[in-house]
Amino acid sequence: MSSRPAAGGGRWVEVDPARIERWVAGFTGRHGPPTTTAQEYGLLLSAPDGATAELHTPPGAPVAPDLDTFVAEAVAPRRIGLLLARKGAVAVGVAEGERLPVHKVDTRYVQGRTAAGGWSQQRFARRRDNQAKAALADAVDLAVRLLLPQAERLDAVVAGGDRRAVDTVLADRRLAPLAALRADRLLDVPEPRHAVLVAAVTAARAVHILIRETDSRPAT
């Protein structure tokens, strides 16, 4: 389970779907039995001591009216398309539950930045820009080959890496069916490699929870 501060206070935690019931039991033990309210994003748990927990529906799952349904939908295996792009690397895959039966990673050299100035720097910048464009074109072709044929069977598409790179790839007209399935979350991943793609399966399925507490105890 990972945790990070939330804008406006509180903390975000990411919980594996299989651990949601245990997590809610821990929240109840710390703060008292909460009331549950269905929201557009998922469920709001409001504890007697004023603490709240927003359980956000994971990608591809329907919004649930109660906690039992939320847990059942969260743990249900779904087909999720993955698109990770950063600099000259792209990784795409199709996850079926926790499995990754379809996957491909591709890399293309893109030069780093330079401190050189003048005409040499301009030439370098043009070369680097052309390399980056070629890498994104490769990413589009890879998504067309591996993800697009699966579009009608996908519950969602989860992207990760550099937002600009991902946006550029999904802006291709051929990938409109995938763009329409894109989930709100953007996975924070390093340069895509096979291990990174495998880890992204877990991150894509995780339930995001925003916790706000009324005292100084850590949000766990």
pLDDT along the chain (220 residues), means of 10: 85 96 96 96 97 97 95 96 90 95 79 51 58 76 95 97 94 97 95 94 96 66
Is residue 201 packed enough to be buried (19+ CB in 10 Å), middle (13-18) or exposed (0-12)?
A: buried
Question: What's the confidence (pLDDT) of residue 124?
Answer: 53
The residue written with tokens 């793609």 in the block is 197
Note the pTM of the prediction, 2 decimals. 0.85
According to the model, what pLDDT value does residue 220 have? Answer: 52
Q: What is the pLDDT of residue 122?
A: 61
Provide the pLDDT for residue 216: 43
- The domain segmentation of the chain, as residue ranges, is 2-76+206-212, 79-203
Q: What is the pLDDT of residue 164?
A: 92
Tell which CATH architecture fits domain 79-203.
2-Layer Sandwich (3.30)
Residue 157 confidence (pLDDT): 98
| Buried-exposed string 31-70: b where 16+ CB fall within 10 A, e elsewhere | beebebeeeeebbbbebeeebbbbbbbbbbbeebeebeeb
Residue 131 token pair: 């390399």
Per-residue confidence (pLDDT) for residue 218, from 0 to 100 = 47
- Tokens standing for residue 52: 């709240």
